Amino acid sequence: MSNATPAELTHFIGGKPVRGTSGRFGDVFQPMDGSLRARVPLASKAEVAAAVENAKAVQPAWAATNPQRRARVLMKFLELAQRDYDKLADCLAREHGKTLPDARGDIQRGLEVVEFAIGIPHLMKGEFTEGAGPGIDLYSVRQPLGVVAGITPFNFPAMIPLWKCAPAIACGNAFILKPSERDPGVPLMLAELFLEAGLPAGVLNVVNGDKEAVDAILEHPDIQAIGFVGSTPIAAYIYERGCAAGKRVQCFGGAKNHMIVMPDADMDQAVDALVGAGYGSAGERCMAVSVAVPVGPKTADILVETLIPRVESLKIGPSTSADADFGPLVTAAHLKKVKDYVALGIEEGAKLQVDGRNFKMQGYEGGFYMGGCLFDEVKPHMRIYKEEIFGPVLSVVRANNYEEGLKLASDHAYGNGVAIFTRDGDAARDFAARVNVGMVGINVPIPVPLAYYTFGGWKRSAFGDLNQHGPDSVRFYTKTKTVTSRWPSGVKEGAEFVIPTMK
């Protein structure tokens, strides 16, 4: 463990780093060795208000900047992000724990939404009807909301902040970002790059904090909209509080993603998919496959028999490793939570086929490591099935037939993602049409849509009417104004006392 003095991070308000004044700090660890990497200030209500004031002051001028010029700022940001790609990935891996290749993927998926947002001159176009009535033209325009905010999670410290802020800024809003206090380094670096790219100071502000900062965002009257990604209990809290305050809110919560393995599936392909999607990023993904549902006893036996040696041979390494399958978990507290779930599964009667709880990384004994765990014979009444574990734990729930597998995924409280592996086109088509889940993969284990489609689950995985990125992001960060115009032609028609119609 390093004895170096931890760095003291800042907020980023009004285009410059600002030291915290609340007197409260959080610890940012380096998960691969357990060392204290930095201390992050936890904002007070006054510090959040200062960020909002900066944003509010500059937003009108930014909104008045034509969309093409706003898009050019995003284009320059992409160039600068490519320049600093390795630096961003290194910081992300060290603060979060994911491997360097996974960190680069985190950044890339965020940049793809920036690429989408560059099309904002087209995306914000309204509608026009000439001659909607006698001498009447009708048109609509999209206008920014004003000051908006994003509250983002620890597991994607580059991707989710960019999913939130890039469309919002492109649409002409000013943005308050409250990243996770567990790994805030990359969001602060992104804010610096936006400023270097030509974004006016104050359009993007980063305020670090915990629940006090979240509540200040929820309560501030000048924040018009809030986007959140995190656990379902907090998503529900933010959605309820934000809506009660009259704000536009979209919140994305937890998941329990199923992968149905049909008897005709390519078993090697299915196992590869389960291992990658179940254990990648140490399972700390809202789109991780955490439940395998083999259909029929023979399929289940083959699947489990094939999975056991693959899970046992997973390569775990430090975050700076280029060839590890996954790295450590984000904090010691989260590591304990995941291990406690494994112990609970054993108590509930599930069969633990692979136990990775005692894994230790040589030379990194202080790190937050855990090997892959594999449960078989998990039942729907068990907590390890009903609750999100968010770690390298895969549960096998055996289904007797296709309908039972479909029902398992459809009836679960969470409805983020689901996948089916099969060679049968009829089964795949039926599954996609009937399953009660928001994102579906057919022989694709992690069905995350590309940036020009929208991302979002159903049921307890999402709160709000609009999804993330894609066209929904433009709808979420703008309001529609419809104008009906008529220019007098010199003919007096007299007063009308009934509602206008087109009869």
Position of tokens 């999670």?
A: 153
Rg (CA), the chain: 25
Our answer to whether residue 165 is catalytic in this structure is: no
Number of H helices and E strands in the chain, helices first, is: 16, 23
CA 10-236-442 angle, to 5 degrees, is 95
Q: With contact defined as beta carbons under 8 Å apart, do 408 and 380 qualify? A: yes
Name the active-site residue from 91, 165, 171, 286. 286
Q: With contact defined as beta carbons under 8 Å apart, do 114 and 460 qualify? A: no
How many Cα neighbours within 13 Å face the side chain of 191?
Answer: 30
Tokens of 5: 């003095």
* Backbone torsions φ then ψ of 151, nearest 5 degrees: -120, 115
* Ramachandran category for residue 267: left, alpha or beta (phi over 0 → left; psi -120 to 50 → alpha): alpha
CA 441-442-448 angle, to 5 degrees, is 20
Task: Determine the distance from the C-alpha atom of residue 435 to the mean position of all C-alpha atoms in its chain, rounded to a whole number.
Answer: 22
* Ramachandran category for residue 373: left, alpha or beta (phi over 0 → left; psi -120 to 50 → alpha): beta
- The DSSP secondary-structure symbol of 283 reads G
**Which residues have CB under 8 Å from 217's CB, separation 6+?**
48, 149, 151, 176, 178, 223, 226
For the annotated catalytic residues, the residue numbers are 286
